A and B are shown apart, each in its own frame.
Chain A
Amino acid sequence: MTPPWWRSATFRLAAAYAAFFAASTALLLGLVYWSTAGLMARQTDDTIEAEIATLAERYRADGLAGLVRLLERQIAREPLGGPIYLLTDAGRRRLGGNLESWPRVEPDTAGWLSFDLGERGPSGIESHPARARAFRLEGGLQLLVGRDVRALRKLEALFTRASVAGVGLIVVLALAGGIVVARTSARRVEAIDSTAREIMAGDLERRIPRTGSGDEFDRLAESLNAMLDRIQALMDELRRISDNVAHDLRTPLTRLRHHLEELSAHPGGERPQVEAAIGEADALLSTFNALVRIARVRASERRAALAPVDLGALAGDVVELYEPVAETRGQHITLDTTPGAVVRGDRDMLFQAVGNLVDNAIKHGPTGGSIRLVVARDAAAVSLQVADDGPGIPAAARERVLEPFYRLEQARHTPGNGLGLSLVAAVARVHGATLALDGEHGLVVTMAFRPGPPGDDLIPPPERDSAAPARDRPPHPATA
């Protein structure tokens, strides 16, 4: 199950970048604001302060009449908008200026007043924002000097709207870009991931697809593919070496056996030691054969001759083959099958695996005991179970008995080479089947096959099967 795209590392990175970018843009816009609209506001304040200083100076030099004259002159010079003046006595009665009455607002801590200015315009009374500062002159007079700041406020509003819209747009664009980038890269990572899974499932020939763009993903794919090539080359080499080792060891063993056989055929050669030596050579050969067999089964993943196999019929054949051996130990084998328990597999390998399980059950089960085979089928799996009432395998050792040459202490005296269950495990793996070892009393081994057969690119069934009995070729369930 792939996680949703918004959980991907790339998307989270993109989101973080979007946030960072939005924050830095906001900071930049703030700076621009401070150096433009803010500067204008400060200049207005400076102008007002300077004017107050000039007016106060004139009042000290020329008295009230001089001040009023100066105010009149200033107003006349800029009749529209611009400066606002109001001169009152201590009782706030108007003595001069272009403002009707003292604005009914309290000054802020710095002595500044912000108020609305009613002005007769072409469309009746218009309200403009204004900013002013009050100044107390000697003799109880009060002077209000201000400016119409509607242009400034408009600029500020425009700036704020533009900033909010800009930052919002940047966030949206960055997020959208992040999603696109995240999904694109998620797809590329997904391709690598699915290839890796297929390789782990046994298809060692698979390679990561490349887009040819030469980007980081392509370079990664290239490196991984090169690594896979190397691993495969090493595995092939290992296989070649193990083939050679097995071959080189089996050949002298075969010759040794041949010499012993010739020796025993000569007069005086029929000594028990010669027989024993032949037996030992046979045991060694059988171990090497089993090792080579396991290596072959493991290496044959996806290359095995897979064809529909009826597990019920196969189990029947195994029982039929092993029953006489079981009877020599007074053991009884029962088989419980379900019709249509068909899996896609290699019948020789499966026969070997089930045979090994039954062989184990016979060897480790008590004399006179029973061995139970169950082949079952349900929606989830086709399973084959072999149960005995032998000593079983301690839970702690159940993983380890699947390793080659691992034998339980209690099993050391029984015949065998410790490879039987390893081979079963290898066969299960090739067939994509799970192998479970359980059992309270005795051992219960269950091989569970997925109903959907492993692999689609199968080689056609061997011709030998076309001559096989019809029971081996039931219609195969549709590939999942």
Chain B
Amino acid sequence: MSMRVLLIEDDAATRGYVARGLAEAGHVVDTAADGREGLMMALDGGFDLLVVDRMLPGLDGLAVVRALRETGADTPVLVLSALGEVDHRVEGLRAGGDDYLVKPFAFAELAARVEALLRRRRPDAASTVLAVGDLEMDTARRAVRRAGVAIRLQPREQRLLEYLMRNADRVVTRTMLLEAVWDYHFDPQTNVIDVHVSRLRAKIDREFDQPLLHTIRGAGYMLSADPPAGHERPAAAP
């Protein structure tokens, strides 16, 4: 399903790179090179997502987001910034951004976050019964079954699986998992997430013929009953 994305970014190279990538991912991308123009376009409406650079000529990115939110628009916004770390991310989220990504980023990270933000708008996001292939989860009863067989998960594994299921068929990066499942923004310097994922994989995939949890090389993971062929990698333990 194609989405309309507005990219407000003053750096031509980044703008071209991101716009091309999002277009390749099947989205309709409009671009603006400064804050004023971007805000005008955003206010005209019709966008499913805004990707806004923080430092913009004319009107800075956070001011754009604030102005947009004041009109009552709830379009998801991903804030991009050359600056990093906690204080800036907090500022970005406080201004009304829905997610925050520090430059330079791997395109896979941006793409994954864009997909997650777009998915957030779908009506089934609040559903308590999730299903991917023959894997089912009842989040209210904390019960997980695959092909009718109950699977016992630790609380953290449960949260990890829930996040993956809610983002099924989408790439989820390690950073996104850390932020969403562990609620910490930090750089683990080790493959800690991979070890957790491989434990989860052992519980949901080992006994079954068809793997559901896939490692997407250079990006992260994807839970899918029908993975795109080009992305499939041998599910080797990290």
Contact = CB atoms under 8 A, between A and B. Distances in A.
Nearest to A354: B186
Interface in B183-214: 183-192, 195-196, 199
A269 to B, nearest CB: 12
Contacts of B184: 317, 347-348, 351-352
Contact of B183 (A264, A325, A346, A468): A468
B87 interface: yes
Given A251-B104, A254-B104, A462-B93, A325 B87 contact: no
B189 A290 contact: yes
A352 B190 CA distance: 12
Interface stretch (A25-33, A220-228, A293-301, A378-386): A293-301
B151 interface: no
Given A293-B85, A348-B184, A351-B186, A258 B191 contact: no
A317 B104 contact: no
Contact of B105 (A254, A290, A349, A359): A254
Contacts of B192: 321-322, 324-325
B90 A462 contact: yes
A313 to B, nearest CB: 11
Nearest to B105: A254
A320 B178 CA distance: 12
A304 B86 contact: yes
B187 A289 contact: yes
Contacts of B106: 254, 257-258
B83 interface: yes
A348 B82 contact: no
Contacts of B190: 322, 325, 359, 362-363
Contacts of A322: 190, 192
B218 A261 contact: yes
Contacts of B93: 462-464
State the main secondary structure of chain B at its contact with A. loop
Residue of A297, A351, A362 most packed against chain B (CB within 10 A): A351
Contacts of A420: 189
B230 A348 contact: no
A210 interface: no
A238 B218 CA distance: 33
A350 to B, nearest CB: 9
Given A250-B104, A463-B94, A300 B85 contact: yes
A286 B187 contact: yes
A324 B94 contact: no
Given A250-B104, A258-B107, A290-B189, A346 B86 contact: yes
A278 to B, nearest CB: 7
Contacts of B66: none
Interface string A154-169: 0000000000000000
B186 A325 contact: no
Interface in A315-368: 317, 320-322, 324-325, 328, 346-349, 351-352, 355-356, 359, 362-363
Nearest to A261: B218
A136 interface: no
A416 interface: yes
Given A253-B104, A324-B199, A463-B94, A359 B189 contact: yes
B87 to A, nearest CB: 6
A6 B165 CA distance: 75
A348 B85 CA distance: 9
A437 B66 CA distance: 46
Interface string A231-261: 0000000000001000100110111011001
Nearest to B178: A321
A265 B84 contact: no
Contacts of B107: 258
A73 interface: no
18 contacts: A243-B83, A247-B104, A250-B104, A254-B105, A261-B108, A261-B218, A289-B187, A290-B189, A303-B87, A317-B184, A321-B196, A324-B196, A328-B195, A348-B86, A352-B186, A355-B186, A359-B188, A359-B189
Interface of B: 82-87, 90, 93-94, 103-108, 156, 182-192, 195-196, 199, 217-218, 230
What 9 pairs between A and B have smallest CB-CB spacing?
Answer: A254-B104, A296-B85, A352-B186, A462-B90, A324-B195, A251-B104, A351-B184, A250-B104, A348-B185
